[in-house]
């Protein structure tokens, strides 16, 4: 059965997944860095070693993401198409998914699907890093909290402040001001999450 590889070269992270038929063999993820070609080559080398594969055994490669045109592959598809196909494959017709929200490193996408899982419209915030993974990375650095701890800590919030700005620069100043006022880190994180949710919700409404 044919072994295929999917490569998602995002602005922040690069992901590679290898499948045989409908079975996932394995996956790898790494920071994209300044040289995505080098990153992809390294991840492929690790994948081949970890799963005892030879380079020639991967018979078809598909690339998507920010740097999809930077590496040689058999096929290139947009992130919008990749998201729609992935949801249909993952859900296996168990649910009628009509909306996909993808918060990436540098942009945020909302994708509307029809009853057959085909993309009919989408909205995208790619003007700045507002409400994206990059924004959360900056906030976690200011708050001196690990990125993967943000969700858990926000659940402990008691008095959630309103974060007015999602612009990374102004948002940073606002969070620093809240810290100087003695506001709890957990409350500030929850405020950040609510602001992002509000922004994404507005994007969803545009497609309703």
Question: What pLDDT shows up at residue 88?
Answer: 86
72 CB-side CA count, 13 A: 0
Helix, strand or coil for residue 179? helix
CA distances, 136 to each of 97, 129, 160, 186, 193 (Å): 27, 9, 17, 14, 9
Whether residue 130 has pLDDT greater than 90: no
If residue 75 lies in a helix (H) or strand (E), which one and from where to where?
Answer: strand 75-76
The model's confidence at residue 189, banded by pLDDT at 50, 70 and 90, is: very high
- Does some domain include residue 10? yes
The model's confidence at residue 93, banded by pLDDT at 50, 70 and 90, is: low
Claim to verify: residue 7 and residue 45 sit in the same structural domain: yes
Claim to verify: residue 12 and residue 73 sit in the same structural domain: yes
Question: What pLDDT shows up at residue 101?
Answer: 92
Claim to verify: residue 145 and residue 198 sit in the same structural domain: yes
Question: What pLDDT shows up at residue 94?
Answer: 63
Question: What pLDDT shows up at residue 167?
Answer: 74
**Residue ranges making up the domain that contains 86:** 82-126
Claim to verify: residue 103 and residue 137 sit in the same structural domain: no
Question: What pLDDT shows up at residue 170?
Answer: 79
Domain boundary among 77, 112, 142: 77
Claim to verify: residue 10 and residue 49 sit in the same structural domain: yes
Is pTM beyond 0.85? Reply is no
Claim to verify: residue 141 and residue 107 sit in the same structural domain: no
Question: What pLDDT shows up at residue 22?
Answer: 86
Question: What pLDDT shows up at residue 128?
Answer: 64
Residues 28-49: b if buried by 16+ CB within 10 A, e if exposed: beeebeeebeebbeebbeebee
Separation CA 3–CA 24 (nearest Å): 10
8 CB-side CA count, 13 A: 19
Question: What pLDDT shows up at residue 83?
Answer: 92
Claim to verify: residue 147 and residue 181 sit in the same structural domain: yes
Task: Report the number of distinct structural domains present in the chain.
Answer: 3
The model's confidence at residue 129, banded by pLDDT at 50, 70 and 90, is: low
CATH number of the domain enclosing 199: 3.30.420.40
- Does some domain include residue 208? no
- The average pLDDT across 96-108 equals 87
Question: What pLDDT shows up at residue 168?
Answer: 73
- Average pLDDT along the chain: 89
Give 12-67 pLDDT, tens digit per residue: 899 999 999 889 999 999 999 889 999 999 999 999 999 998 878 899 999 999 89
Whether residue 126 has pLDDT greater than 80: no
Separation CA 170–CA 162 (nearest Å): 14
């Amino acid at each position: 059965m044919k072994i295929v590889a999917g490569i998602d070269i995002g602005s922040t992270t690069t992901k590679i997944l290898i499948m045989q038929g409908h079975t996932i063999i394995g996956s790898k993820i790494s920071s994209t860095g300044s040289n995505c070609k080098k990153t992809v080559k390294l991840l492929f080398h690790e994948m081949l070693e970890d799963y005892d594969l030879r380079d020639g055994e991967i018979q078809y490669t598909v690339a998507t993401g920010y740097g999809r045109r930077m590496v040689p592959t058999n096929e290139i598809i947009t992130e919008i198409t990749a998201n729609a196909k992935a949801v249909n494959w993952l859900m296996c017709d168990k649910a009628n998914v009509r909306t996909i929200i993808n918060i990436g490193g540098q942009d945020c996408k909302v994708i509307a699907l029809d009853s057959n899982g085909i993309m009919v419209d989408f909205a995208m915030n790619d003007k700045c890093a507002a409400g994206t993974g990059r924004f959360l990375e900056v906030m976690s650095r200011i708050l001196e909290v690990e990125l993967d701890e943000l969700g858990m800590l926000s659940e402990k919030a008691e008095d959630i402040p309103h974060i007015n700005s999602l612009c990374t620069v102004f948002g940073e100043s606002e969070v620093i001001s809240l810290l100087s006022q003695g506001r709890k880190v957990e409350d500030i994180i929850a405020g950040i999450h609510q602001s992002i949710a509000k922004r994404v919700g507005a994007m969803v409404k545009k497609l309703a």
